[in-house]
Structure 1
Amino acid sequence: MSTTIRPLVIGHRGASGYRPEHTRAAYELAFTLGADAVEPDIVATRDGVLVLRHENEISGTTNVAEHPEFADRRTSKTIDGDAITGWFTEDFTWDELSTLRARERLPEVRQASTTHNDGSPILRLSDLLEIVDQHPEAARRPLKIVAEIKHASYFASIGLPLDELFARDVREWATADNLIIESFEQSVLHRIRDRGIPGQLVFLLESSGAPSDLIAQHGSKARSYADHLSDEGLAQLAREVDGISVDKKMLMLKDLAGNLTGTNDLVDRAHAAGLLVFCWTLRAENRFLPKNLRSSKQPEQHGDWLAEFRTLMDSGLDGVFADQPDLAVTARG
């Protein structure tokens, strides 16, 4: 990694602990609070514009349901094996999506953030590139984007190849130092690299199941995420990507009561194979903390986030995704 500061603090969808995710305010605040990078989730519109949303289904993060002119767009689809009902970015043009406004995805936990509902439009990837370049922090330190490519196999199946669209948008902007590209589907990472886009490639892994692109290709015989994390699997990954990114729970050791007691050897094993290791997502609220680090039974209150963050960072992680990037910077310091 080009910086000697470890771990890299990545604003998860911006500073999503304080502002509705994937909004200009969230991204700008993340850098102001000290994040080294921000993470956009990237999906596509019907006319091939890359937009920043947690998922291509947008009813939980926008006010689309309150637009009567789009009522007939509500539909059901199967995305990567999951049946989902709602409104999907690929059924809208960019001009149509630009009329929507963003909302807090976790209102029950982040009530303060809901005061910013309906105040910000959806952003395009191109908008975020400008935000990074124009942020005052960019004059003081290098700023990065960690771009997550979402549902690549699905989008390719409907004629929206995300690798091609992503390469189009970042070709003039990307360098080896300002871009990291991640996905739960390794194949799209390779296609992006084959298109000559610089930057590190990071393979996202779940705690169960198998990658969607491998399921599409091999069905029930697809290699599981667990297979990728064996010593043999890590050695193979090191020949194919620069790093891995895992759910923080995949690093934690807990007792039978659900109390955090330490971390396992995954980071050490991955480093031994030659891989960078990232984890997601550091969040301060009780709802997201191990039982022994919760401050009360109120899920929205902050618990002993510092103990969790430092326990994870002490495992030797190269990067962490954080909803409250200022707290992750504090823990790192």
Structure 2
Amino acid sequence: MTVRTTPTPMIIGHRGASGYRPEHTRSAYELAFALGAEAVEPDIVATKDGVLVVRHENEISGTTDVASHPEFAARRTTKLIDGHELTGWFTEDFTWDELSTLRARERLGALRQSSASFDGHYPILRLSELVEIIDRASADARAPLGMVAEIKHATYFASIGLPLDELLANELDELGWGYQFDRLTIESFEQTVLHEVRARGVKASYVYLIEASGKPADLVARSGAQATSYADVVTPAGLYGLSGHVDGVSVDKSLLLRTDAAGRPATTELVDHAHAAGLQIFTWTLRPENRFLSAPFRRGRAKAAFGDWQGEWRLIMGTGIDGIFADHPDLALALRDEL
């Protein structure tokens, strides 16, 4: 997001306040803004009838109660999504009316039992409903709160006749969000769909998501084994190559962390390299539980226990990063205020 009215780094509620409520639910998003998040991040997939919904993946067995609906038992299937074989239930096999009968579940139930206590309380959200939540929260806060919309599996959806670039551009236009340059960021692990949405006239910041390993699905579909890897992109030359094509990058936090010669936690120069190339840089996902912290910051053996999250997050914030995605936005804000 290019127009900044907040301190650096921007705090983005990852799928809402997903550390406290099942992700992508109304409660998670409303709570994120109540806790001070300056933007929220939905993942966007499509239904059979072209309705955009917010789900972590198009495979929904881990985030909804679909398995308990006998009327949908025959929809369980196996598909190849971006090179990975997945078995379950998929949004593109349901109409919106059918999906609206499902209820959300905590994806990390064994780890986040408090959040899992809300299983079954909330329906799936359409993108249009999330935009209404953001607009209402902005009016209440008298501040332009933002949305960082992640387009999921664009190459796959295009292959089955559901072009997410077209669906998203049309929806944003209908919602009055097609020209929200100061409030809207669009991101994807596939650079092709970012170019396609921009070509449709959507005025937003465009951010390329970068995994710690592997290759983008759109490039693999086009070039196979010769596809450029994510590792090629995070070099100084690779970042300069992105300049002018996207406005920023968003990287797995592991790409920011290293161990110095004395064996102490330290950071890489990736943030400096991105800024030198004229790119904003964000990172995901800051989580306080031991399971998600890098090894030097874990405390004890309990995966669900909070480790030294302050130590890890302070190190990351100290790089000059432009924005962070956090499941607990209140913790990130408290640490940013301290710094």
* Equivalent AA in structure 1 for residue 136 of structure 2: Q
Q: Secondary structure at the match of 1:236?
A: helix
Asked if the contact 2:106–2:116 (Cα under 8 Å) also holds between the matched residues in 1, the reply is yes
In structure 2, the partner of 1:249 is 254
Determine the C-alpha separation between the residues in 2 that align with 1:157 and 1:252: 37
Determine the C-alpha separation between the residues in 2 that align with 1:302 and 1:224: 34
Asked if the contact 1:204–1:245 (Cα under 8 Å) also holds between the matched residues in 2, the reply is yes
TM-score computed with the length of structure 2 as normaliser: 0.95
What do you get for the CA RMSD once the two structures are aligned? 1.4
Asked if the contact 1:15–1:27 (Cα under 8 Å) also holds between the matched residues in 2, the reply is yes
Structure 2: gaps of 5 or more residues: none
In structure 2, the partner of 1:210 is 215
In structure 2, the partner of 1:179 is 184
* Alignment counterpart, residue 123 of structure 2, candidates 118, 121, 124: 121
In structure 2, the partner of 1:59 is 61
In structure 1, the partner of 2:113 is 111
Written as runs of structure 1 = structure 2, the 5 A alignment for 1:217-232 is 217-232=222-237
Query: 1:96-128: per-residue Cα shift (whole Å, max 9, x none)?
Result: 000000000001110000110000000000000
* Alignment counterpart, residue 11 of structure 2, candidates 9, 12, 18: 9
Structure 1: gaps of 5 or more residues: none
Determine the C-alpha separation between the residues in 2 that align with 1:52 and 1:72: 23
Q: Secondary structure at the match of 1:71?
A: helix
* Alignment counterpart, residue 44 of structure 1, candidates 46, 54, 60: 46
* Alignment counterpart, residue 99 of structure 1, candidates 98, 101, 117: 101
Determine the C-alpha separation between the residues in 2 that align with 1:18 and 1:255: 34
Q: Secondary structure at the match of 1:119?
A: coil
Of 264-273 and 169-178, more deviation after overlay is shown by 169-178
Asked if the contact 2:81–2:156 (Cα under 8 Å) also holds between the matched residues in 1, the reply is yes
Determine the C-alpha separation between the residues in 2 that align with 1:218 and 1:61: 33
In structure 2, the partner of 1:27 is 29
* Equivalent AA in structure 2 for residue 263 of structure 1: T
Determine the C-alpha separation between the residues in 1 that align with 2:329 and 2:141: 19
Determine the C-alpha separation between the residues in 2 that align with 1:232 and 1:139: 41
* Equivalent AA in structure 2 for residue 98 of structure 1: S
* Equivalent AA in structure 2 for residue 100 of structure 1: L
Structure 2 residue 160 is the aligned partner of structure 1 residue 155: no
Asked if the contact 1:132–1:138 (Cα under 8 Å) also holds between the matched residues in 2, the reply is no
Change (3 A) 1:29 1:313: same
* Alignment counterpart, residue 319 of structure 1, candidates 320, 323, 335: 323
In structure 1, the partner of 2:293 is 289
* Equivalent AA in structure 2 for residue 34 of structure 1: G
